[in-house]
């Protein structure tokens, strides 16, 4: 069983030949409206790889929330809503045809976390070997949930996309941490002579990696320096959500009991496949 805790968005995706210049209008080649966000995309990825998944996120009860709920239901993701009304965040995504590069503009979530959220309830049914994936959003809920899952003998996987309030505490409460290529540690917390991987691992996780976009990346797997190979994809259609796919696949393979290094390599392979399709989840539905 997997629980993903973090950000849910509603994404408006438009594919364009190129990004518009100031005061210029361009016509989109393709339009899609669906749910997104790192935790939600990771949840859908883990479902596609055979895991049962519950998403803990701020969903709300507004019109955008209904769009998100409908998409999550189609993806087979069960939802535990921690919002006190409102809507999830809205993201506008421009994908450049030919390169798969994307530009994203996002609002903050308009829904607030309810005061009555109980960690025990969110962790119901979890035990030894089950996996919690956190993305650094909903820090108060995520940290309490991480500590509870570890107390129960579960595994905590962290998607460290960027530094946020509570990141250091969440890293310390995690077993596996995968940082993004542009993840930076604040100056006052940096350790002289140590890079991101070494520094984060010194805070407690057993395995830490830092991705490098489409390139192979380094990891410390239970203290052993390891290279995770990223193979060149046959084609690049859309890089949107490749990191989310990486983290969701990692959670799924950990849930299946694979060793950390094997799970990281297989997750990287799934992420490579995903960029050959449209959107973060096109690889799931396209042949």
User: What is the CATH classification number for the domain harbouring 36?
Assistant: 3.40.1190.20
- Examine the pLDDT at 286 and tell me if it is beyond 60: no
- Per-residue confidence at 102, pLDDT binned at 50, 70, 90? confident
> 287 or 167: which carries more pLDDT confidence?
167
CA proximity to 15, closest of 3, 32, 2, 1: 32
Question: Domain count of the chain?
Answer: 1
Q: For 74-83, 218-227, 271-280, which range has the lowest pLDDT when averaged over its residues?
A: 271-280
Distance CA(240)–CA(44), nearest Å, equals: 14
44-53 pLDDT, tens digit per residue, is 999 999 999 9
Residue 182: the pLDDT is 92
- Examine the pLDDT at 285 and tell me if it is beyond 60: yes
Beta-sheet strand order (sheet of 89-96): 30-36, 9-16, 89-96, 102-106
Q: For 12-16, 116-120, 164-168, 179-183, which range has the lowest pLDDT when averaged over its residues?
A: 116-120
Distance CA(210)–CA(178), nearest Å, equals: 6
Domain annotation covers residue 38: yes
pTM over 0.85: yes
The position carrying tokens 């960690």 is 119
Residue 259 belongs to what domain range? 2-21+29-100+130-280
> Quick count: other Cβ atoms within 10 Å of Cβ 69?
19
Domain annotation covers residue 213: yes
- Determine what percent of the chain is predicted with pLDDT higher than 90: 74
Instruction: List, in sequence order, every beta strand (DSSP E) within 68-146.
Output: 78-81, 89-96, 102-106, 131-134
Q: Is 167 helix (H, G, I), strand (E, B) or coil?
A: helix
Distance CA(8)–CA(57), nearest Å, equals: 6
Backbone angles phi, psi at 161, to 5 degrees: -75, -40
> 84 or 264: which carries more pLDDT confidence?
264
105-123 pLDDT, tens digit per residue, is 887 655 567 556 788 899 9
Distance CA(133)–CA(135), nearest Å, equals: 7
- Examine the pLDDT at 62 and tell me if it is beyond 60: yes
Domain annotation covers residue 111: no
Residue 210: the pLDDT is 97
Distance CA(140)–CA(145), nearest Å, equals: 9
Domain annotation covers residue 109: no
Distance CA(104)–CA(162), nearest Å, equals: 15
Task: State mean pLDDT over 247-258.
Answer: 98
Distance CA(125)–CA(19), nearest Å, equals: 46
Domain annotation covers residue 164: yes
Domain annotation covers residue 229: yes
Q: Is 48 helix (H, G, I), strand (E, B) or coil?
A: helix
Distance CA(209)–CA(226), nearest Å, equals: 9
Task: State mean pLDDT over 12-16.
Answer: 91
Domain annotation covers residue 285: no
Residue 287: the pLDDT is 44
Helices vs strands, H then E, count in the chain: 9, 13
Radius of gyration of the chain (CA): 18
> 193 or 166: which carries more pLDDT confidence?
166
- Examine the pLDDT at 192 and tell me if it is beyond 70: yes
Residue 257: the pLDDT is 97
Mean residue pLDDT across the chain: 92
Domain annotation covers residue 222: yes
The position carrying tokens 């994307």 is 102
């Amino acid at each position: 069983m997997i629980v993903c805790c973090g950000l849910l968005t509603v994404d408006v995706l438009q594919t364009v030949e190129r990004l518009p210049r100031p005061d210029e209008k361009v016509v989109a080649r393709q339009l899609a409206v669906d749910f997104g966000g790192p935790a939600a995309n990771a949840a859908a990825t883990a479902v596609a790889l055979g895991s049962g998944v519950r998403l803990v996120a701020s969903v709300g009860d507004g019109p955008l929330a209904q769009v998100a709920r409908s998409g999550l239901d189609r993806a087979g993701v069960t939802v535990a809503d921690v919002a006190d009304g409102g809507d999830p965040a809205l993201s506008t995504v421009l994908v450049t045809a030919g390169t798969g590069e994307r530009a994203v503009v996002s609002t903050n979530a308009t829904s607030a976390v309810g005061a009555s959220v109980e960690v025990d309830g969110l962790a119901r049914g979890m035990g030894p070997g089950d996996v919690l994936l956190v993305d650094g959003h909903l820090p108060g809920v995520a940290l309490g949930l991480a500590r509870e899952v570890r107390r129960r003998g579960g595994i905590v996987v962290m998607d460290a996309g960027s530094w946020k309030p509570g990141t250091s505490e969440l890293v310390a409460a995690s077993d596996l941490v995968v940082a993004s290529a542009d993840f930076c540690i604040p100056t006052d917390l940096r350790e002289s002579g140590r890079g991101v991987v070494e520094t984060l691992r010194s805070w407690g996780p057993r395995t830490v990696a830092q991705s490098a976009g489409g390139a192979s990346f380094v990891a410390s797997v239970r203290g052993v320096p390891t290279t995770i190979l990223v193979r060149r994809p046959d084609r690049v259609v859309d890089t949107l959500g490749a990191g989310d796919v990486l983290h969701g696949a990692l959670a799924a393979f950990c849930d299946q009991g694979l060793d950390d290094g094997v799970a990281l390599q297989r997750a990287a392979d799934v992420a490579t496949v995903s960029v050959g399709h449209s959107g973060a989840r096109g690889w799931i539905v396209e042949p």
